[in-house]
Structure 1
Amino acid sequence: MNSFIVLNGKRLKTFLLIIFISLFTAIFFFSQSTANVSVFSIDHQPKAIFKGEKGIALTFNIGWGDVKAAEILNVLEKKNVRSATFFLSGAWAERHPDIVEKIVELGYEIGNLGYAYVDYTEVEDEKVRQDILKAQKIFKQLGIDNVELLRPPTGYFDKRVLKIANKLGYTVIHWSINSEDWKNPGIKSIVEKAVKAKNGDILLLHASDAAKQTAEALPAIIKELQKKGKLVNVSTLIASGDAKTTLIP
């Protein structure tokens, strides 16, 4: 009887050791697989990505204006930057189909900035949904069918907005570096903030007319960032790797 108990005790210890090793291995590989893309999220819920792993993503929001978007495109073309992501409001795109066409022709990626400048956290679900879909309709009318990235117009979002976007087939994109160019703090200030970006960062810039100094700051930004890594669009930045999550309210 005693020998039977000792034998089972040894087997139990061996079994527990195997379980422990297996669990540790699983945790290790899971942690490695989740190191690539940083996101705001709730566990098992839709995510908002604010950082990737390889490359630096230039992103430009355009909500209104007739002048600065063309200037930004001219700088990018002159500096031979062929990868960037433009988040366009549907209302702006509707009024400027020629500039939208040029963005597409130059090979830049287009993301959805909603239709109107609405804080999605302050309106009901259906209004959020309608605003996103209205912009989506405009893009399709302009021959753009593959818009899969969404940036909430004011930059504010919550769990509810993430779920709505996810149901509509969108990935919400935030940013890790904010140039604050819309404040027009001076070219030097914009450059200093923007060049803090490093490999994996998503840089927020604006091509609306309110951002009066961005086009002038852009050459210096491009020069410095190209020393740090390859300039890519958002989809390329987030193409590999699973998500590392950070709790949002």
Structure 2
Amino acid sequence: MNFIWVWKAKNIKRYLIIALAAFFTAGIIYVDQAKIAVFSPSDDDAAIYRADIDEQEVSLTFNISWGEEHAIPILDVLKDHDISNATFFLSGSWAERHPDIVERIVEDGHEIGSHGFHHEHYTKWDDSEIRRDIQLAHDHLVSEIDTEPNYLRPPNGSFDERVLSVARSQNYHIIHWSVDSHDWKEPGVDTIVDNVLEPISPGDIVLFHASDSATQTAEALPTIIEELEKNDYEFLTVSELLAGAESEHSVIE
């Protein structure tokens, strides 16, 4: 009889241990889920990468952070094709050094967004450094274009939830992209054209560069523009594309 009691006691002890382990595991899962809920971004704190629309509309966007050789040829191509509503994301330090090109971008009717001031990875900086860089770029851009940009494309496309939060605290929406031309890799004109035309769909935000690394962009653009126009696509600024449309958001880590 005592043997049976001892055996049952051992089993009860074992079951208690299993129950406690299950309880703590459930607690950990609950905490993790709570953390996920807390840190999941709202629409206001997420990066916009495309617009959810049915109309044949896309936005051509260009990053500029250095050099002066290829921005003007790209602007000339856009003007030759009667496109006056691309969006240029300008580094504040670049804009400071090239006010004549900034003036040309504005005169041609294009939209300007911020590309930060220093071309460094924000995710490697603390909040105060990110905030300072965004503000520095903002001040320089406002002095050049006399309007306040509220779209930011972080340098190198590098951001996380913390960067998103800092940007929103300074009234900026982060704009990513849904189609990447990979033009900065200089893969060849035909490859740049294919990189854009093959995945394109209504509402896409297309990434190009107009820095001096973009040696093949001006040559690829005419074919891209003409092919899209054959398929009844219209070109809008990011602001126009998002106006009245549901924007799709994501966090790229």
Query: How far apart are the structure 2 equivalents of 1:199 and 1:223?
Result: 16
Match of 2:41 in 1: 42
**1:158-201: per-residue Cα shift (whole Å, max 9, x none)?**
11111111110111000000000000000000001111322110
What letter is aligned with 1:192? D
Q: Which has the higher helix share?
A: 2
Q: 2:244 aligns with which of 234, 240, 243?
A: 240
Tell me if 1:199 matches 2:202.
yes
Matches within 5 A, 1:76-225: 76-196=78-198, 197-225=200-228
Match of 1:15 in 2: none
Matched length: 209
Query: How far apart are the structure 2 equivalents of 1:111 and 1:101?
Result: 14
Q: Secondary structure at the match of 1:175?
A: coil
**1:13-72: per-residue Cα shift (whole Å, max 9, x none)?**
xxxxxxxxxxxxxxxxxxxxxxxxxxxx62465121001124100000001001100110
User: Normalization by structure 2: what TM-score?
Assistant: 0.79
Structure 1 residue 141 displacement after superposition? 1.6
Matches within 5 A, 1:61-72: 61-72=63-74
Query: How far apart are the structure 2 equivalents of 1:216 and 1:104?
Result: 22
Q: Secondary structure at the match of 1:60?
A: strand
**1:104-155: per-residue Cα shift (whole Å, max 9, x none)?**
0111000000001110111111111111111111112214322110000110
**Cα distance change of structure 1 residues 247 and 171 upon mapping to structure 2, 3 Å threshold:** closer
**Cα distance change of structure 1 residues 75 and 45 upon mapping to structure 2, 3 Å threshold:** closer
**Cα distance change of structure 1 residues 142 and 246 upon mapping to structure 2, 3 Å threshold:** closer
Runs of at least 5 residues in structure 2 that lack an aligned partner in the other structure = 1-39
Query: Is the 1:149–1:170 contact (alpha carbons within 8 Å) kept by the matching residues of 2?
Result: yes
Query: How far apart are the structure 2 equivalents of 1:243 and 1:202?
Result: 11
Query: Is the 1:175–1:203 contact (alpha carbons within 8 Å) kept by the matching residues of 2?
Result: yes
What letter is aligned with 1:47? A
User: Normalization by structure 1: what TM-score?
Assistant: 0.80
Query: How far apart are the structure 1 equivalents of 2:64 and 2:146?
Result: 16
